[in-house]
Every structure is written in C-alpha cells, then in structure tokens.
C-alpha cells in the first residue's frame, strides 16, 4: 500500500469506471484503431474547405498587397494583428496545463494535457501566419533571422519588441513541440505494440523512436519532463509578455501601459482555457472519453476561467482609472471617447468585451454552473468572442482616431480577404486537430495509468476503510 | 552488440514487481532491465540505478544559450554594425534581455531533448527487442541476463514464488539496431552465449 502516494477519498476520482491498466489502453487507443465516424469526416471536410478559402485569401493578399485588407496609414494594424494576438493567447493554455500544473502536482492535468498541448501547437501555427503575411513581402520574411548576409551585413534590430516576438514565438513553438512529442513517445509505443496492421506497426514504430519502457529511460524521461516544465513555465509567461511589449513599448495612447504584461498573460490563459473547454467537450463526446475527461476536469478549468476573467476585469478597471487619474488628455481621449463611449463608432466592441469577458464568466462562481456542460460550452464560445473583442479594442480603437482628425479612419472594416484569412486559420486549426484526434492518442495513456491507482474510483473505494482509521494508526502506516 | 540469453519474468501487479526486483538483485543475478508501461517511482532506486545527470546537461545548454545570445547581440550592435535605435546605447542590456531569455530556454530544451534521445538511443527507425508484447500496455517485465555462470533452471525456479504471470527464456539482441517494426529483424553479430 505504501507503494502509492496516498490521496484522500474526498477528492473526486479523476478516472471513473474502475479501470484496469489494460482497459485504459483499450479505451484510449480505440479511436486510433477504428474507422472514424461520419461526424469526423464531415468535420474534417468542413475544416479543409475553410482552409482552402484561407489559402485563396492569402494568395490574393500576396499578389495584391496588404491594401487588400483595408489597412491604411491610420489603421495599420487591424484584424490581422488582432487575430495574431488572439491565436497566440489561445496557445497559452496547453503549456500552462502541461508545465505549470505539472510543477504544482495537479493530478487532473493528466486527462487534458495532451489535447491541450496539441491545441497550443496548432494555435501558435495559426498565430504565426498573421505577422508573416502582414510583412507584405512575405518572400523576404527570412530577413528577420540574424545571419551574416550580403546586405551589409544588415542585422535585425534586437532592440525592437517585434523581433523579440519572432524569438519568443518560435522558441515557444519549438519547446511546446518538443514537450508534446517526448510525452507522446511512450504512447506511440503502446499503439505500436498492439497494432494489428503492418502499416500501423511501421508508422507508429517510426514515431515511437523505438521506445521500450526501460526503467532507466523512464527515469530520464521524468527528469526531462520536469526540467522542460520548469523551462516552459517562465516561457509561457514570457511569450504573451513580449506580445504585450509590441504595444506597451510604443507611445500610442491606449498602448503605452505598464499593466500590459500581466494583463495579457491573464487574458491569454483565460481564452486558452475557454478554447480547451470547447474542444474537450466535443472530443470527450465524440470519442466516448467521459470517464477520463470528467465533469471534475471541466469544473477545474472553469475555476481557472473565472479567476483569470476577474483578473482581466480588474485590469480593465485599472486602465480606466489610470486614464482618468493621470490627467493625460490623450490617454483619457483614447479610453473615454474612443473606447468606453458606447456611441462612439467602435464603442460596441468595448462594451462587448466587458460583457463577454468580465460579467458573463462570473456565472462560474456557482458550482452548478461550473459543472453544467451546456453552460460551459456556451461560455467557452462567449469568452473567446470576448477575448477577440479585447484585442480588437486594444489595437483598433487606440489608432483609428489619430492625433489629426483629417487622418481619422472612423469606419474601419475588414475586407472579405482579411476575414477569409481569419476563417482560413480556423480551417488550419481544425484540420490539424481532426488529424490529431484520429491518429494520436488524445489522452496521455502512460500518465493516466500512473494516476489510476491513486485517483481512479476503484482506488477511492479501497481507501474508504483507511480513511476510517485512527489518526495515530494512519500516521504510522503512511509515514514515509 | 551481441545476442544474449535472458530469463524474462512478467508481472501484472506492481506490488509483486518491486520485491521481485529487489530479491533478484540481492540474489546476485544480473538484471538487464525492467520494462514498465508507465513511470514507476522508486523502481530506479530498487534497481540501484544512479540518478540521471540530464539536469546538469540542461543547465550547461542553458548557459550556452545565454552566452550565445548576449555575445552575438553585443558583438553585432557594438562592433559589427553599430547603429542608434530609439536613442538607446549600443550595448542596450535591458533590450537584450527578452531574446537572451528565449535563447536560454531554447538551447536548454533542444539540447536536453537531443541528449535524452542520444542517451536512450531513441530515433526514428531505431529498433529494440520487445520482451513482451504488452510491456507498453499493462505488463511489467523483468529481464535477467544469463551470464555463463548463471544456472538457468535455478533462475526459473527462483521466480516461482514471486507472483509472476509468466517466466520464459528468450535469446535476443541486447542493444539496438536500425530496423522497422513491421518486419522481423534481428541483428546477430556473434553466436548466442552458450550456457552450460
């Protein structure tokens, strides 16, 4: 008994249905081994169509330039950068779940980390498209890399937050992929060893890198995961901090704000968890994983949502307060006329943001609501719309009424091609996600097994008589 | 590497595995390896494996990243192509921090993963002998290597009361080789060790 870490029966089981190790394997590998259902094909086809529309939109932009997006001198950053920040924000939950919650020893991460990490990687891929194509001359995009060249050598500007972004996002992407893939190795080996077809044995054999489950390898694997988690924790905080520097280091009223880094990071976690909720609610239903992604998992994520949503709310209020308290007329104009005035041209986006991000998540103070799947799904969509509004508010409302009224671009609206680009990234995201859900173990099999004996509900029953013991006896038996 | 002879004991309960590994080690048998479907905490101590130094490697890679980033940016901005951006000094340390941090993390992470793969001989098309088809599913496998001194029959009897779900003798390649998992391949450079 002392082999396993003791966990109180009062904690909700994380794996339901009294699973044995073999049943866990059967359940979690099943989606890979059977043909996907009709819904999967329909979803995949729709995603591909959206992706195709995105490709056409990007093609138009590359050929005709970013004027195709209705960007102009005043509104130089519009939907594109809004979408970039939005996707990067969504890409924060995965690494937060896998890294920070690993360091905090949160058992519930094991049910959701694999899918959340995949979501992170795909979201960062989508995010990356926007700044790349916003460059205009995308064929010169490699100029951002610092390498000795024949142009001087002309080096990139290391003092610029835009270049920091290049490093932050590419590092984040690389580290997330490495973290994800090293975690996948043992699970690929599981799929490989029970594969019935030759093709599956070949492909998963290659993907598993010849993993055998040797104790020494596991020991190194654990050490690697822990250090990668330690590295990824400041990394995940740094990425959105640096994205916020894109704005905060400028001198535009509305952007020039020291509160941005924590405010952006909280917002990123907020939207990331909302997206994880939307996806997992679909995945657990589509693949019958209700016993692994339990209501308890969903509730835990809703708690994070209400926490980060409230942090974001405090940030909005502080911004307004400082705009008034600083006595700076330009700051006050940006906040009170361009944003918070409901009847200003883009005032709807500010109040949409407040309603969706700050007010509506407060519903999660109620346990019943946190555990209600319909409310959760609805709220996850609402939060993501709200977070899109937030980035739109920050970017566009700060710049569309310039210092000189003659330069105002009051009714900025995107063209079909700019919207198409955004829709196209949804296509990319869901195409990747559908492929992932078909060919990859969506839940970390080995990790679920490692908590099955402490957090499975069969163990919880076994623990009940232990709980009833006298404290002295208990302490004696469980002392390490 | 060479083909070797192993006595392979499989378990389905980790509660039986731990004492069995401990007793095998105490009895003086040479444990080739223990294969588990998920990380078993404390098994490395029971087997007498030393703590991994992967952390140290990660630290060194990280420092390397820090130095690379700071060194390159300073050289470029101070000596190779000095320019004034935003009225900042050439050596604008605060502005160099973000990239320095990112490269530290990048070098440490990439370096550690490569080192991990190198140490564990993990790569695409690497193949190793799988002692039990369910060792990545729910079976814990203890593979004991038979040396010329080993009495195989006695070793098999040794596992009688250890709560195994099966004991068998296998001759297999001990190391790794390039291969595909859909084909039966074995590398044999020498004959199997003759056991008397």
Q: Under a CB-based contact definition with an 8 Å cutoff, are residues A219 and B44 in contact?
A: yes
Search chain B and give the residue with CA nearest A2: B15
- How far apart, in whole angstroms, are the C-alpha atoms of residue A144 and residue A168? 13
* In-domain check, residue B192: no
The pLDDT value recorded for residue B175 is 85
Same domain flag for B169 and B145 = yes
Place of tokens 């595909």: B180
pTM comes to 0.91
Domain of A274, in residue numbers? 21-459
* In-domain check, residue B189: no
* In-domain check, residue B129: no
- How far apart, in whole angstroms, are the C-alpha atoms of residue A188 and residue B111? 22
Contact A152 B113 (CB under 8 A): no
- Residues A189-217: tens digit of each pLDDT: 999 999 889 999 999 999 999 999 999 99
Q: Under a CB-based contact definition with an 8 Å cutoff, are residues A87 and A123 in contact?
A: yes
The pLDDT value recorded for residue A3 is 43
What is the domain-level CATH number for residue A371? 1.20.1630.10
Six-digit token string for A371: 């555990």
Give the distance, in angstroms, between the CA of residue A298 and the centroid of all CA atoms in the same chain: 15
Read off the pLDDT band of A2 (50, 70, 90). very low
The pLDDT value recorded for residue A1 is 34
Q: Which of A82-91, A285-294, A354-363, B108-117 has the lowest mean pLDDT?
A: A285-294
Domain count for chain B, please give it. 2
Size of interface A-B (CB pairs under 8 A): 208
The pLDDT value recorded for residue B187 is 67
Residues in chain B, total: 196
Q: Under a CB-based contact definition with an 8 Å cutoff, are residues A395 and A81 in contact?
A: yes
* In-domain check, residue A465: no
* In-domain check, residue A477: no
- How far apart, in whole angstroms, are the C-alpha atoms of residue B189 and residue B173? 9
* In-domain check, residue B84: yes
- How far apart, in whole angstroms, are the C-alpha atoms of residue B79 and residue B91? 10
Contact B181 A192 (CB under 8 A): yes
Q: Which of A12-21, A258-267, A401-410, B77-86 has the lowest mean pLDDT?
A: A12-21
Of A76, A95, A158, whose CA–CA distance to B78 is shortest? A158
* In-domain check, residue A467: no
Domain of B151, in residue numbers? 3-49+136-178
* In-domain check, residue A147: yes
Domain count for chain A, please give it. 1
Q: Which of A377-391, A438-452, A454-468, B105-119 has the lowest mean pLDDT?
A: A454-468
Q: Under a CB-based contact definition with an 8 Å cutoff, are residues A349 and A393 in contact?
A: yes
The pLDDT value recorded for residue A350 is 93
Provide, rounded to the nearest whole percent, the portion of chain A with pLDDT above 90.
Answer: 51
What is the domain-level CATH number for residue B141? 3.30.70.1110
DSSP B164-177: -SEEEEEEEESSEE
The pLDDT value recorded for residue A383 is 94
Six-digit token string for A212: 């055998």
Same domain flag for B156 and B109 = no
- pLDDT over 60 at A480, yes or no: no
Same domain flag for B45 and B141 = yes
At A372, which helix (H) or strand (E)? none
Alpha helices of chain B — where are they, by DSSP H?
Answer: 14-26, 43-47, 54-74, 93-119, 152-158
Contact A159 B54 (CB under 8 A): no
At B20, which helix (H) or strand (E)? helix B14-26
Same domain flag for B59 and B107 = yes
Same domain flag for B33 and B13 = yes
| Nearest CB partner across the interface for A219, out of B49, B62, B113 | B49
The pLDDT value recorded for residue A463 is 62
* In-domain check, residue A473: no
Considering only residues A287 and A81, tell me which one the structure prediction assigns the higher pLDDT: A81
- Residues A418-471: tens digit of each pLDDT: 999 999 999 999 999 999 999 999 999 998 888 887 777 666 666 666 666 777
Considering only residues A97 and A248, tell me which one the structure prediction assigns the higher pLDDT: A248
- How far apart, in whole angstroms, are the C-alpha atoms of residue A310 and residue A316? 10
Q: Under a CB-based contact definition with an 8 Å cutoff, are residues A118 and A276 in contact?
A: no
Other beta carbons within 10 angstroms of residue A479's beta carbon come to 7
Most A CBs within 10 Å, among B141, B181, B187, to test the A interface = B181
Q: Which of A461-475, B58-72, B83-97, B121-135 has the lowest mean pLDDT?
A: A461-475
Q: Under a CB-based contact definition with an 8 Å cutoff, are residues A340 and A350 in contact?
A: yes
* In-domain check, residue B72: yes
CB-CB neighbors (< 8 A) of A220 in chain B: 52, 54, 116, 119-120
Same domain flag for B29 and B74 = no
At A188, which helix (H) or strand (E)? helix A161-193
Six-digit token string for A308: 């980060």
* In-domain check, residue A6: no
CB-CB neighbors (< 8 A) of A221 in chain B: 39, 116, 120
The pLDDT value recorded for residue B1 is 58
Same domain flag for B105 and B143 = no
Read off the pLDDT band of B196 (50, 70, 90). very low
- Residues A29-72: tens digit of each pLDDT: 888 888 888 888 999 999 999 999 999 999 999 999 888 888 88
- Residues B136-164: tens digit of each pLDDT: 988 999 999 888 888 888 888 888 888 88
Read off the pLDDT band of B194 (50, 70, 90). low
Provide, rounded to the nearest whole percent, the portion of chain A with pLDDT above 70.
Answer: 94
- pLDDT over 70 at A176, yes or no: yes
Q: Which of A403-412, A421-430, B105-114, B126-135 has the lowest mean pLDDT?
A: A403-412
* In-domain check, residue B183: no
The pLDDT value recorded for residue B69 is 95
* In-domain check, residue B184: no
Search chain A and give the residue with CA nearest B17: A3
Pairing of strands B166-173, B30-35: unpaired
SS3 label, residue B10 = strand
- pLDDT over 90 at B103, yes or no: yes
Q: What is the mean pLDDT of residues A139-156?
A: 87
Q: What is the mean pLDDT of chain B?
A: 87
* In-domain check, residue B155: yes
Contact A190 B52 (CB under 8 A): no
Read off the pLDDT band of B87 (50, 70, 90). confident
* In-domain check, residue A56: yes
Read off the pLDDT band of B88 (50, 70, 90). confident
Q: What is the mean pLDDT of residues A350-366?
A: 93
* In-domain check, residue A476: no
| Nearest CB partner across the interface for A216, out of B49, B88, B117 | B49
């Amino acid at each position: 008994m002392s082999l396993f870490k003791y966990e109180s029966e009062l904690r909700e089981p994380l794996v339901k249905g009294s699973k044995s190790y073999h049943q866990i394997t059967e359940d979690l590998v099943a989606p890979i081994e059977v043909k996907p259902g009709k819904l999967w094909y329909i979803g995949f086809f729709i995603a591909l169509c959206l992706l195709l529309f995105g490709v056409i939109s990007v093609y138009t932009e590359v050929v005709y330039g970013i004027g195709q997006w209705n960007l102009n001198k005043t509104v130089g950053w519009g939907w594109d950068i809004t979408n970039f920040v939005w996707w990067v924000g969504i890409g924060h939950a995965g690494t937060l779940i896998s890294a920070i919650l690993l360091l905090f020893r949160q058992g519930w991460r094991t049910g959701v980390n694999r899918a959340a990490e995949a979501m992170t990687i795909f979201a960062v891929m989508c995010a990356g498209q926007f700044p790349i194509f916003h460059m205009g001359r995308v064929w010169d995009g490699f100029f951002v890399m610092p390498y000795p060249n024949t142009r001087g050598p002309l080096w990139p500007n290391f003092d610029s937050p835009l270049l920091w972004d290049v490093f932050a996002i590419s590092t984040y992407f690389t580290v997330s992929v490495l973290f994800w893939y090293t975690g996948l190795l043992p699970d690929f080996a599981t799929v490989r060893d029970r594969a019935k077809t030759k093709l599956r044995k070949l492909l998963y054999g290659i993907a598993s890198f010849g993993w055998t489950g040797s104790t020494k390898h596991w020991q190194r694997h654990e050490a690697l995961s822990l250090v990668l988690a330690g590295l990824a924790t400041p990394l995940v905080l740094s990425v959105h901090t640096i994205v916020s520097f894109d704005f905060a280091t400028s001198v535009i009223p509305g952007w020039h704000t020291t509160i941005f880094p924590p405010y952006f990071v909280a917002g990123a976690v907020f939207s990331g968890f909302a997206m994880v909720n939307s996806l997992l609610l679909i995945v657990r239903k589509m693949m019958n994983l209700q016993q692994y992604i339990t209501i308890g998992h969903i509730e835990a994520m809703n708690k994070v949502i209400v926490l980060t949503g409230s942090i974001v709310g405090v940030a909005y209020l502080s911004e307004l307060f400082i705009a008034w308290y600083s006595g700076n007329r330009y700051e006050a104009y940006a906040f009170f006329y361009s944003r918070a005035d409901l009847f200003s041209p883009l005032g709807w986006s500010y109040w949409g943001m407040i309603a969706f991000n700050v007010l509506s998540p407060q519903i999660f103070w109620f346990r019943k609501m946190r555990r209600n799947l319909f409310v959760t799904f609805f709220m996850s969509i609402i939060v993501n719309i709200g977070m899109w509004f937030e980035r739109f508010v920050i970017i566009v409302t700060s710049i569309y009424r310039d210092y000189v009224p003659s330069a105002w671009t009051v009714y900025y609206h995107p063209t079909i091609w700019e919207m198409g680009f955004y829709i196209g990234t949804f296509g990319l995201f869901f195409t990747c996600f559908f492929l992932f859900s078909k060919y990859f173990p969506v839940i970390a099999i080995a990790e679920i097994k490692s908590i099955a004996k402490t957090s499975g509900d069969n163990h919880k029953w076994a623990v009940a008589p232990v709980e009833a013991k006298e404290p002295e006896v208990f302490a004696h038996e469980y002392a390490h | 590497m060479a083909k070797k002879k192993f006595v392979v004991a499989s378990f389905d309960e980790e509660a039986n595995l731990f004492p069995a590994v401990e007793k095998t080690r105490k009895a003086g048998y040479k444990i080739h390896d223990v294969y588990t479907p998920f990380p078993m905490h404390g098994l490395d101590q029971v087997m007498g494996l030393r703590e991994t130094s992967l952390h140290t490697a990660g630290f060194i890679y990280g420092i390397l990243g820090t130095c690379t980033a700071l060194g390159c940016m300073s050289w470029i901005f101070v000596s190779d192509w000095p320019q004034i951006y935003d009225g900042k000094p050439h050596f604008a340390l605060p502005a160099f921090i973000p990239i320095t941090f990112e490269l530290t993390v990048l070098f440490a992470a990439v370096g550690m993963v490569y080192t991990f793969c190198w140490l564990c001989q993990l790569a695409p098309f690497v193949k190793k002998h799988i002692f039990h088809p369910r060792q990545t599913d729910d079976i814990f496998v203890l593979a004991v290597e038979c040396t010329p001194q080993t009495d195989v029959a006695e070793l098999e009897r040794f596992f009688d009361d250890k709560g195994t779900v099966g004991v068998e003798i296998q001759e297999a390649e001990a190391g790794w080789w390039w291969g595909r998992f859909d084909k039966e391949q074995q590398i044999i450079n020498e004959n199997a060790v003759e056991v008397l």
